[in-house]
A and B are shown apart, each in its own frame.
Chain A
Amino acid sequence: MKGKIISCFLLLSLCGAISDTFAQLQPTTYNEEQQQLNGLLAVPKSP
Chain B
Amino acid sequence: MILPAWMGIDKHASESAEQLAKLGYYTFVADIYGEGNVPKNTAEAGKQAGYYKSHVDEYRKRIQLALDQLVKAGANPDKIAVIGYCFGGTGALEAARANMNVKGVVSFHGGLARDTTKTTSSILPKVLVCHGADDFFIPQDEIISFQQEMRTSKADWQMNYYANAVHSFTDPTAGNDPTKGVAYNEKAAKRSWKAMLDFFDELFINSLFTSNAFFIYYQPTTHQGQKPLERI
Binding site for B on A (CB under 8 A): 19, 22-23, 25, 28, 30, 32, 35-44, 46-47
Contacts and interface: CB of A to CB of B under 8 A. Distances in A.
B74 A40 contact: no
B28 A32 contact: no
Given A32-B65, A35-B34, A35-B35, A40 B26 contact: no
A16 B24 CA distance: 16
Interface of B: 9, 13-14, 17-18, 20-32, 34-35, 61-62, 65-66, 68-70, 73-75
17 contacts: A22-B22, A23-B18, A28-B73, A30-B65, A32-B61, A36-B34, A36-B35, A37-B31, A37-B62, A39-B28, A39-B69, A42-B18, A42-B26, A43-B21, A44-B22, A44-B23, A47-B75
A26 B70 CA distance: 12
A46 B69 CA distance: 19
B15 to A, nearest CB: 9
Nearest to A31: B65
